[in-house]
Structure 1
Amino acid sequence: MRKFSLFAIVFFFLLTNSHSQPIPRTSDENLSKVDKLYYTCKIWGFLKYYHPLVSKGSYEWDEKIQKIISQTAGYQTHEAFSEYIARWIYYMGQIKPCNTCNQRNSNEVFLENFDLSWTQDRRFTEKFRSTFKNIEKNRFQGDHHYIEKGKIGEFIPKNEQQHFDLNWKDENQRLIPLFRFWNYVEYFYPYKYLTEQSWDDVLKEMISKFLEVNTKVEFHLAMLELVVKIDDSHAGLMTTVLEGMPYYNYLPARFDIIENQAVITEIIDAAKSRQADLQLGDVITKINGKPVMQVHNANKRYIWGSNEAIKDRSIYHTLFMGMQAPVDVTLERDGSTKMASLSLYKYSDISYSKASQKEKWTTYGDSIGYVNMGEISSGDVAPMMSELSDKTVIIFDVRNSPKGTYRAVSKYLNPSDTTFAIYTKPDFTYPGKFVWEGKAKCGSNNPDYFKGMIILLVDENTQSHAEFTCMSLQTAPNVVVVGSQTAGTNGKVSKFPIITSQYTAMSGTGVYYPNRSAVQRVGITPDVYVEQTMQGIKEKRDEILEKAIEISKEKIAEEIAEAKAALEKALMDSMMRLDSLRLDSLQMNAIPIDTLRLDTLRIDTLKVDNIEKDQ
């Protein structure tokens, strides 16, 4: 047992130190085409953001990458490849010493995303390794030609060629958007360390797929698959090629994953749904003979999202992608199975029923308040809290898109101001590194804060600012979160084109709880987990809200029981004191004070009994 433990410790040490001290290997190992492109992408990105001459815009860098790809095609070993690269960098020009590069950042550094160990791979020549180490030590400082700092510190690319005439048939040209986006993520995506697949492995996999592209649609789908791999619900790919084709197709009724089945949850276009004989609660089991979940799982490589809940949320938008209408669909309804040949529609061709006006806030009985955070604005908060401040429970529904009211609301819920989130932001002086910088606060000193129970309602629609709002409201005393997994997407959104026909986005800053636990991918964790059921869908019930009301009634009953017990104890104490009183003739015509108190307590007890019956 001791031998095994010692082996495990040694193995763990070697494994965890493998990044900082690469294991020496023979330098004559053959390089495949994918290997050379993999290193070329990393070298191109490193020089773009680190080399002083490249970073100030002295070269047409996209043209350089195509020349490197062509000129290194004949090199078959790490030694020969790295020797050429080191010589090529030498002829780019001398790098001057950097006098500020060694200055310590005043903020604490976040290193989870940082890894330049590949530049010191011992399969490369000593000249290559020393060249890259020298560039790192004397990296560019100042106004970067390719980097724009956003309003709160997020990365925004600038001065990129848009490639209006990019020839996707040219292998080297179609690698440009792959290399470009991969390096955006490598150096400036705050959650790179949380991706499901190693970002290096993503590069190797996607190079192979980009090399195998045969059509324009395949080229854009490969780019979409790359973007999806950052596991970020803020991401996605808007491309005129896919949007201009019958690639995204829809039924006139929305369906969602309920109990691991595709269940129709909303009739969107009543006329078209009637024509197709689609009803609420119908279960789609097969499409063109294939099980629905098999089709959905195959499409997941094209569905952006931070977690599985979000990918399942998107099934309505992706289940029929690329299919030609009509499609053969198998439906289950009330235990019976039926086959149907259904038409598919473009999103713009579906007539949406006008949504009914939702209440901003309301009450359930005398003791429960309800607030729709997606409807209230800052001007509503004061009158809303004035009406709800005497309630035992307030339910805040955050299954929507709040309008920036968390600060205004928190002033009524918190006894004092408090920090609810902290940030990581890119360190543009040292690309790949991030710093802990800034915090978000809510609440204010308020002795009259709301002292009842607060319930937050969440589900997969609670995303980004809604999750940020939840983080704020969670700082109040006595908060319970009810619902299912949220989107797990947080941070300032950075939006930008990759090339002119491909537009994307990603989370540009990292957002964490004050204890540094991440919301990204995980989401807001419910205290009481509740999901919609098929039965609930058929009956048009909001089961998450129902659970919140059930918890509220339990809380009210508990407080009533406590109040009743306190009153009964006070009554018994008063009766005991009354028995001990000695009345003399001078007090016979006066009403004892404790008799008045006794009558009051009896009246209060009757009131508590009546309230309990009402509940």
Structure 2
Amino acid sequence: MLRTLLTSLALALGLVAFTASAAEPTPQALPSREERLESLARLWGQVRYRHPALAYKNLDWDAALVAAIPRVESAKDRAAYAAAVQDMLEELKDPTTRILRPDEQQEGSQKGPSAPVRELRSWEAKDVLVLDLRAVKDPAVMATLRGKPEELRPDISKAKAVIVDLRARGLESNAVWSMSTALGRLLPYLLSEELQVPGERTVFHSGFRPQSLGGTSGGYTTSFLTTAGEEISPKGDGKARPVIFLLDDKSYLDARALTMKAQGLAQLVTEGRLDDGAVVETTQVELGAGLTASVRLSELGIPMRADAVLPKRARSDKDETLQKALDLAKKPAKKGKAAREAELPPARWQADRKYEDMLYPSREYRLLALFRAWNVIHFFYPYKHLLTRDWDGALTTFLPKFEKAKDAAEYALAVAELSTLVQDGHTNLRGHPELEKRGITGVNAPFEAMELDGVAVVMNVWNAEAAPGLVRGHVIDTIDGKPVAERMKALEPYVTASHPVHLRHRLLAKALAGPEGSQATLGVHDAGGQTKQVRFTRSIQSLQKPKQGEPYRMLADNTGYVDLTRLQTSEVAAMFEKFKGTRAIIFDMRGYPNGTAWTIAPYLNTRKARHAAVFERNVVSAAETNGRYKFIQELPKADVPLYRGRTVMLIDERAISQSEHTGLFFEAANGTTFIGSPSAGANGDITDMVLPGGISMIFTGHDVRHVDGRQLQRVGLRPQLYVRPTLQGIQAGKDEVLDKALEYLKGNSAAVAGDSFR
């Protein structure tokens, strides 16, 4: 308790000193309210996804942000701004994560060290050896320590005590790192027994772990990544003697030296403030107005406690810090003890809170929603580089939209509008009643429609009882008395997709969707111009496709046909047995499959291909904020007979995600030809985030590419032979895409790349 109070007092005094310090740089203007909030959002996200405490401690980081927002907004000067941010960081109870003082932000701002640099080896009080590692600035000294550190052994053996000077104030960063390297070479000669140095651990996000989906096929995880510790054996005379390390507030404190302290083999004397931020990984976040926050990224299982702390001093002839070390050197060396590492708790993943009761959150919680959504996409969305809408600027654009939302509906719509910046057919929202009321979420109609020749056309009716009188080929004019085109237009600000054709398809589907059990009335006309009203009911049960015989059948010219939207994995073997003597198979992938690609691919792998697709997902850790974990997915193997006939796949914008992945499998296995129009261009196992109001935002978690590295996302599978159904053909009962495939297989149709969205 006393240490916590003293730490808080020191931080408070540091913030007061911030405004009065003589070392303070030229004053900078206080950023605008909006700019301060944006900086706060970025800092909050760095802590949320990279600070180790958030992976196991029961901290209410949301509440810390909510409390900070009004104070950051109302700050009239830099001191008030700094205090507001610092108070938010206090929730972590981590002295390393804090607002930096001005002098801490200015590397090499002093003309030189506070104490003169000595020779590498010098003697004090006749028998105390001082090793000044600041001398590594001399290449000859560095060469000695790097290549022949054993040359120091005779002097160390003669010494009653050894003082190692690691003070770094006034030195360039490369010199500080050279000192650390030199210490590593020197340290075995200072030891009298084995040194067990613990590893350092950091939070490691491999993709974004789903918050409410109950797991997905993506395998996204959050864990601790712990580096292996090391065992250092003594190389000296084995005699125990006092070893004192001199440090200051610019020192890089090597974990090995800190372990020596913990094991009773060394003492620490610090000049000015020093915490374990000197030994762990940190990052800095610029806040404007000359303010910078330091954020811890790693932790060790050993404490940082100095034996003596002296005030930071300007350069002078008298070196009080060295004198303090000499006083400590007079005491006999303590017997070494096993360094007991602190028992760091294991990672304990907790989903973000949904705040489901906050259908209309307070302004601060609405901003929490914005900040959380922005950071999740910023850190974890794998296709951010493909977005043409400005996600980096979304904080600026959407701050007023979230702030000014006057009720639950406007808040939910602000979230929906924000989601459209993630141009991806996987991007979906659910969980808020206002989204369902407006058709942004809900249950699809019991029939399938497509936009052909500029009109909405019924393609399939899944449940005739739920939509009596509706048939394939009907043109949809109105829904509940309003033009369907008008309804689609109203949804445009709130619906997104990977490319324009799939966006139109999604808009049409959502224009026809609604709550479970709800009813709606369509105004339709047929090929003869006859109009009528059709009443339909929405329900999950009505979306089940009717069973109309086997999902595969023989066509003319010894050609097999497979409806992959209906084929089950249990039927694959029988299907290939039936088609083993055919000249070709047409796989109809105009919809969504049932996980059959993994079973079918071994039958098609005449190329003896090993791999099917390239995967990448974002990695967020201490070392990376935009790193990628990349792997090549292998084609499944099975002891089955190969099918050596020709294969084609029928595709259009209804083919999405697993449908497109099926295409990647078939393409790699035997070079299957694609016929139709481009698929949806949205692939990669989904994940989701949750936002206040019970909103779940689903998005793509993997970047998936063709096995040769070609882009699939926002492009889709591109047909070698482009063909699009027409209204006239549908109303005449034709399947023009299937007809074109049959013509192609007869050898009567040229394959033409269809790589434009028509």
Task: Using structure 2 for the length normalisation, give the TM-score.
Answer: 0.57
- Among candidates 663, 674, 682, match of residue 481 of structure 1: 674
Deviates more, 1:401-410 or 1:537-546: 401-410
8 Å contact 2:205–2:620 — kept in the other structure?
no
Structure-2 separation of matches of 1:513 and 1:462 = 16
Post-superposition Cα deviations, 1:120-164, rounded to whole Å, max 9, x if no partner, equal 65x825540xx34x645x589998868x5xxxxxxxxx3423324
Pick one of 561, 570, 580 that aligns with 1:389: 580
Q: Decide whether aligned partners of structure 1 residues 103 and 354 sit closer, same or farther in structure 2, where only a CA change above 3 A counts.
A: closer
2:668 partner SS: coil
One-letter code aligned to 1:481 = F
- Equivalent runs, 1:7-406 vs 2, <5 Å: 27-28=28-29, 30-32=31-33, 34-57=34-57, 59-75=59-75, 83-84=82-83, 87-88=86-87, 91=90, 92-95=93-96, 100=200, 124-128=288-292, 131-132=293-294, 135=296, 138=298, 148=349, 158-166=350-358, 168=360, 170-242=362-434, 245=437, 255-266=449-460, 280-284=472-476, 292-293=484-485, 295-319=487-511, 334=527, 347-348=538-539, 355-406=546-597
Task: Give the Cα separation in 1 of the matches to 2:598 and 2:446.
Answer: 39
Could you give the per-residue CA deviations for residues 314-361 of structure 1, whole angstroms, max 9, x where no partner exists? Answer: 2344336799x99998866558597x8x68766239977972425332
CA contact under 8 A between 1:220 and 1:239: conserved in structure 2? no
CA distance, structure 2, for counterparts of residue 258 and residue 140 of structure 1 = 62
CA contact (8 A) 1:360 1:376 kept: yes
| Conserved? CA contact 2:561–2:587, under 8 Å | yes
Alpha-carbon distance, 1:407 to partner:
3.1
- The 1:259–1:140 alpha-carbon spacing in structure 2 relative to 1, beyond 3 Å, is farther
Letter in 2 for 1:532: P
1:326 to 1:432, Cα distance in 2 relative to 1, 3 A: same
Deviation of 1:84 after TM superposition, in Å, equals 4.2
What is the Cα deviation at residue 243 of structure 1? 6.6
Q: Secondary structure at the match of 2:631?
A: strand
| 1:555 to 1:222, Cα distance in 2 relative to 1, 3 A | same
Residues 400 and 286 of structure 1, relative CA distance in 2, 3 Å threshold: closer
Structure 2 residue 634 is matched with structure 1 residue 441: yes
Highest Rg: 1 or 2? 2
Letter in 2 for 1:124: G
Q: Paired residue for 1:468, among 639, 661, 681?
A: 661
1:492 aligns with 2:685: yes
Residue 510 (1) aligns with residue 511 (2): no
For the 8 Å contact 2:684–2:702, the answer to whether it is kept is yes
Q: CA deviation at 1:56?
A: 3.7
How far residue 239 of structure 1 moved from its aligned partner, in angstroms, is 2.0
The one-letter amino acid of 1:451's match is R
Q: Is the 8 A contact 1:421 1:511 kept in 2?
A: yes
Does the Cα contact within 8 Å between 2:487 and 2:511 map onto a contact in 1? yes
1:542 to 735, 741, 755: 735
Contact 1:424/1:437, CA 8 A, preserved across alignment = yes
Amino acid at match of 2:94: G
* Closer/same/farther in 2, CA of residues 295 and 76 from structure 1, 3 Å limit: farther
Q: Following TM superposition, by how much is the alpha carbon of 1:363 offset from its aligned partner in structure 2, in angstroms?
A: 1.9
Q: Distance in 2 between matches of 1:208 and 1:321?
A: 30
Question: Retained in 1: the 8 A contact 2:443–2:514?
Answer: yes
Answer 1 or 2: which has greater helix percent: 1
Percent identical across equivalent pairs?
23
Taking a change above 3 Å as real, the CA distance of residues 307 and 86 of structure 1, as seen in their structure-2 partners, is same
| CA gap 1:543/1:43 in 2 versus in 1, 3 angstroms | same
Give 3-state SS (helix, strand or coil) of 1:183's partner: helix
Contact preservation (8 Å) 2:615, 2:705: yes
1-structure distance, mates of 2:745, 2:41? 57
CA contact (8 A) 1:491 1:509 kept: yes
Contact 2:499 / 2:681 at 8 angstroms: preserved in 1?
yes
CA distance in 1, matches of 2:638, 2:462: 47
Distance (whole Å) between structure 2 residues aligned to residue 294 and residue 183 of structure 1: 34
Q: Which amino acid aligns with 1:368?
A: T
TM-score, normalised via structure 1 length: 0.69
Q: 1:189 to 1:534 in 2, by over 3 A?
A: same
Query: Structure 2 vs 1, CA of residues 290 and 166 (structure 1 numbering), >3 Å: closer, same or farther?
Result: closer
For residue 422 of structure 2, give the secondary structure of its aligned residue in structure 1.
Answer: coil
Quote how far apart the aligned CAs of 1:533 are: 0.9
Aligned residues of 2:443 and 2:539 also touching (Cα < 8 A) = no
Cα deviation 1:52-76 (Å, max 9, x = unaligned): 4445435311111111111111236
1:548: Cα distance to partner?
0.8
2-structure distance, mates of 1:246, 1:105: 35
Q: Does 1:553 align with 2:717?
A: no
8 Å CA contact 2:617–2:629 kept in 1: the answer is yes
CA distance in 2 between partners of 1:353 and 1:322 (Å): 17
Structure 1 gap segments, 5+ residues each: 1-24, 107-117, 149-157, 559-615
1:456-494 CA-partner distances (Å, limit 9, x unpaired):
111222121121111010013342111112122222222
After TM superposition, give the deviation of residue 451 of structure 1 in Å: 3.2
| Letter aligned with residue 454 of structure 2 | N
Separation of aligned partners in 1, 2:387 and 2:346 = 27
Question: Structure 2: which 5+ residue stretches go unaligned?
Answer: 1-25, 98-179, 181-197, 207-282, 302-343, 752-758
How many equivalent pairs are there? 501
**Alpha-carbon displacement from aligned partner over 1:388-411 (angstroms, at most 9, x marks no partner):** 233222212222333333233222
> Are positions 1:523 and 2:716 aligned together?
yes
Output the CA distance in 2 between the equivalents of 1:178 and 1:239: 17
On the 8 A contact 1:250/1:317 being kept in 2, the answer is: yes
Q: SS where residue 392 of structure 2 aligns?
A: helix
Q: Compute the RMSD of aligned alpha carbons.
A: 4.4
* SS at 2:719 equivalent: coil
For the residue of structure 2 that corresponds to 1:488, the secondary structure is coil
Contact residue 427 and residue 435 of structure 1 kept, 8 A:
yes
Matched letter for residue 31 of structure 1: S
1:450 aligns with 2:643: yes
Pairwise CA distance, 1:436: 3.0
Query: How many Å separate the matches in 2 of 1:329 and 1:43?
Result: 50
Distance 1:80 1:309, change over 3 A: farther
Instruction: Output the amino acid matched with 2:403.
Output: L
Amino acid at match of 2:667: Q
| 1:19-45 Cα deviation digits (max 9, x unpaired) | xxxxxx99427514x433322222211
| Structure 1 pair 384–488 and aligned structure 2 pair: CA distance change class (3 A) | same
